Structure 1
Amino acid sequence: MPPELAPEPTSDSCARPNPAGIRRVAVLTSGGDAPGMNAAIRAVVRTGTQQGLEVVGVRRGFSGLHRGELSLLGARDVANIIQRGGTILLTARSRTWRTPEGRARGAQVLRDWGVDGLIVIGGDGSFHGAHFLQEEHGIPVIGVPGTIDNDLYGTDHTIGYFTAVETALDAVDKLRDTGASHERIFVIEVMGRHAGHIALDVAVAGGAEEVFIPEDSKPVSGVLDIVRDSVAKGKRGSIIIVAEGYPGGATGVAEAIEAGTGLETRVSILGHIQRGGSPVSSDRILASRLGEAAVYALMEGRRGVMVGRGASGMLYTPLHETWEKRKDVSRDLYRCAKTLSV
C-alpha cells in the first residue's frame, strides 16, 4: 500500500479540530543531527501553542527521556533558531532505550508529565524506538523524518538532505580546483551508509567523472577506462564520488585507480561536516511543514505514522514501513550522471 495522503484543509483558518483531545505533546530529536531539526522543533512548539496545547521538550533524545530531562517550551523559547544547525534539544543514542526496561521507564516519565502524544524527529533507528514505545505502552507517536541520508520510505525528501548536498557540493567544487592545479584525481567520500542519494546528487551537480553507490555493486575496475579516457581528452583532473556505504569506500576506489593506472590519486572523506551548518531554505520549509503536520496528526487521532512530503502533498506512512520498505535512488538521475560524465 502507498503512503496515505493527508486531506487538504477545508478552510484557511488556523484553528483545527482536536477529536483526539490532545492537551500536551512532547517533542524530541534522536540519532544523528540534521540541519533543519531546529526548524521542525520550532514548528511543533508554535503550532501546538497556537492550537492551545502545551509542548514539552525532551533533551538528549530517548536517553534524556528515561532520565526525565523534560521542560515546558513556549513560542519565545524557539525564537531565532530556524537558521541554526544542529538541535537545541540535543541528541544522543541510547542503549538503555533498546531494552524493555528502558522504554518502560521513559513511558512512565511521559505519563508523569501528562503527555498525550510524542513527536520524534529522527531517522530509522529513532523510529524503531518510537514504534516499540507505542506498541508496548500505548503512547501515541508521530515520526518526523530528520536524516541527511534521505533513506526513509514515505517521503520524497528528509530534513537535512538538501543542506548536506549543498555542503558536500561546495567541498567538491573546491577540491576540483586543487585537483586541476596539480593534475590529480580526487576520490571524494560522502555520507550514505545504506543509500546513495547524496552521492548521486553531488556527482551530477559537481560534474563528477564517476559515482559509486551502495545500490549498485558495479566493480571498481570499470573506473579505470573512465580515468584513462579523461587523461587522453586532456582533462587536468578528475572527480570520483563514492558513498560511504559502497564496499571499500573511497580508499578502496583510490587504491584500485592508482594500481591500475599509476596516476596520482588523493582521497578526501568529507565526514561529519555534511551534518553541520545553517540549513538551506528548502530544509527550513520542509521542516516547518512537517513539524506543523505532526501536531495536527496527533490532534486528528493518528498514531504510529511518519509525516512525509510528496509531489501530491502531505503523506502518512506507518512507522514500520519507513524501514521495511526500500527507497531507491533515482535511476533516471543515475543514468544522467553516466551520460554527462563523458
Structure 2
Amino acid sequence: MSYPHAKASMALYTLPNQFIVEVITMKTFAVLTSGGDAPGMNAAIRSVVRTASFYECRILGIRHGYQGMIDDDVLELTPGSVGDIIQRGGTVLQTARCEAFKTPVGLAKGIATLQKHGIEGLVVIGGDGSFRGAYALAQYGIQVIGIPGTIDNDIPGTDESIGFDTAVNTAVEAIDRIRDTASSHDRTYVVEVMGHRSGAIALSVGMAAGAASILIPEEPQDPDRVLAQLNKARERGKKHPIVIVAEGAACAMDVGEFLRNHIASEVRVTVLGHIQRGGSPSARDRILGGLYGTEAVRLLLEGMTNHMVAMCGARVTAVPFTEVFDRQHEANLFYHRIADILAV
C-alpha cells in the first residue's frame, strides 16, 4: 500500500493486512485533547505518538487544546515521553474550552502555530465542539482526523467514545455502595449521573445497577410513571429502590423532593458529578484508545482528512465530520424497555 503525498524509502515493516506499509520519510503530526476530559484519552495520546514514531514521523503535542494552539503551547513527544500514562485518567496534554478559536482571529492564530512548527496533520481527541474546530481547520487545508472522546457517548456515527465505559463502571460501583446503605435503612435513593443531552450513561448504569426507574433527556418525564414503578417495586418486597436520573433529564433534588411528598419511605439524593470523569480508565477504554490512535495516524498517512475514527459494530472505520454534524444522537431506548421489564 502506498500513501499519497508521501515519499517512501525502501525499507518495509512486517505487519498484518492493511498495516504493511512502506516507511515514510519524516512527516510532522500533532495531537491535542479538547473539551471535557475522559478516561482513556491518555491511551489514545500514547497510541498516536507511538504509531507515528513507528512510521518514523515526528509528533508534537499541543497543550490545553485549541487555546494552546492559539498560544503556541507546543512540545515534542517521543515514545518514551508517553510511557506509564496508559493507566492514568484525565489527559497529560491537558484540555480547555476555547471560545476564542471560534473567531476568525483565533482561528488564524491557530493556523499560524501549525505552520510555524511544520505540522502537516492533526489528531483531535474530543467531542462535537472539538470536531467543529477541526472541521474549521480543514477548510483551510489542514489535514485533520478526530478521535471521539467523551464520557457521554453522545457523538453520532460511532457506537463508542473513549471514556464512556469507565464512567459507567465508576457510577455502577458507587451505586453498589449506595445500595448497601439503602438496604440497611430501607431508603429510596435518587442518584444523578452525567449526561446533559444524552441518557447513555443513565441507561447503562440503570441496567447494570438494577434501577427501579431511569430518567433520560430523550424521553418525556412522567412523575406518575416513576411513582408506579416504585410502588410496584415495593409491592414485590423491595424496600430500597434506586432511581437513576440523567442530569439533562431532571434535577435529582427536585425528583427527590417530589418523591418525599408521594411515598412513605425515606428518600435520599446523591449527585455523583465529576467523579465519573476521573479515575483510571477501564480495559475497554484503554483498548479503544489504542485502536483509535493507531487508525488516526494511518488515515493521516493515507492523506485522509475531515473524518472521525469510529467504532461501528466490531469494526473501526472512519466517518466524515459532515455526517457526524448532520446526524442526531439517538439513545438506546431498547435498554430502557429491558430495564423496565427487569425492574418488575
Q: TM-score range by the shorter chain?
A: over 0.9
Correspondence for 1:292: 294
Correspondence for 1:23: 27
- Which residue among 187, 192, 199 is the counterpart of 2:195? 192
Correspondence for 2:212: 209
Q: Which residues of structure 1 form unaligned runs of 5+?
A: 1-8
Q: Does the alignment pair 1:334 with 2:336? A: yes
3-state SS of the aligned residue for 2:196? coil
Shift of 1:72: 1.1
Q: TM-score, normalised by structure 1?
A: 0.93
- Which residue among 130, 136, 140 is the counterpart of 1:132? 136
RMSD (Å), alpha carbons: 1.8
The Cα offsets for residues 144-175 of structure 1, whole Å up to 9 and x where unpaired, read as 00000111112110000000000000011111
Which has the bigger relative contact order, CA under 8 A and spacing at least 6? 1
CA–CA separation in structure 1 for the residues paired with 2:158 and 2:228: 37
Shift of 1:26: 0.5
3-state SS of the aligned residue for 2:261? helix
Runs of 4+ in 1 over 6 A off after TM superposition: none
Shift of 1:263: 3.1
| Equivalent runs, 1:174-323 vs 2, <5 Å | 174-246=177-249, 248-323=250-325
Correspondence for 1:5: none
| Equivalent runs, 1:11-160 vs 2, <5 Å | 11-12=16-17, 14-17=19-22, 23-135=27-139, 137-160=140-163
Q: Is contact 2:38–2:150 with CA below 8 Å preserved after alignment? A: yes
Point out the more displaced range, 154-163 or 213-222: 213-222
CA–CA separation in structure 1 for the residues paired with 2:288 and 2:78: 21
Letter in 2 for 1:283: D
Q: Is contact 2:26–2:56 with CA below 8 Å preserved after alignment? A: no
Q: Is contact 1:36–1:279 with CA below 8 Å preserved after alignment? A: yes
Shift of 1:23: 0.6
3-state SS of the aligned residue for 1:66? helix
Q: Which residues of structure 2 form unaligned runs of 5+?
A: 1-13
3-state SS of the aligned residue for 1:260? coil
Shift of 1:249: 2.2
Q: TM-score, normalised by structure 2?
A: 0.92
Q: Is contact 1:17–1:299 with CA below 8 Å preserved after alignment? A: no
CA–CA separation in structure 2 for the residues paired with 1:71 and 1:177: 47
Structure 2 CA distance for partners of 1:13 and 1:338, relative to 1, 3 Å? closer
Structure 2 CA distance for partners of 1:70 and 1:209, relative to 1, 3 Å? same
- Which residue among 161, 166, 176 is the counterpart of 1:163? 166
